[in-house]
Amino acid sequence: MQVSVIITASGSGLRMGGDVPKQFLLIGGKPVLAHTMDAFNRVSIVDKIVVTAPAEYVNHAWEIATAHKLNKVRAVIAGGASRAASIYAALKALPFVGTGTGPEKLPHSGDKPNSPPEIVLIHDGVRPFVSEELIKSVARATQAHGAAIVGTPITDTIKEVDKKLRITSTPDRSRLWRVQTPQGFTYDMIMKAYAQGEKDGIFPQATDDSMLVERLGKPVTMVEGDPGNIKITTPEDMAIGEVLLRNRK
- List of domains in the chain: 3-248 (3.90.550.10)
Helix and strand counts by DSSP (H, E) for the chain = 7, 12
Query: CB under 8 Å, gap of 24 or more: what pairs does 197-206 form?
Result: 197/84, 197/88, 198/84, 198/88, 202/84, 203/81, 203/82, 203/84, 203/85, 203/88, 204/82, 204/84, 206/82, 206/83, 206/84
> How many Cβ atoms are within 10 Å of 207's Cβ, its own excluded?
11
Helix (H) or strand (E) holding 180: strand 177-186
The string of pLDDT tens digits covering residues 90-143 is: 999 999 887 566 777 676 666 777 788 899 999 999 999 999 999 999 999 999
Q: What average pLDDT does the chain have? A: 91
pLDDT band, very low/low/confident/very high, at 25 (cuts 50, 70, 90)? very high
3-state SS, residue 106: coil
pTM as predicted: 0.93
How many Cβ atoms are within 10 Å of 123's Cβ, its own excluded?
Answer: 26
Residue 39: the pLDDT is 97
| Higher-pLDDT residue of 117, 41 | 41
Is the CB of residue 87 less than 8 Å from the CB of residue 52?
yes
Give the single-character DSSP code of 208. S
% of the chain at pLDDT higher than 70: 94
H helices of 149-216, in order, are 187-200, 210-214
Per-residue pLDDT at 103 = 75
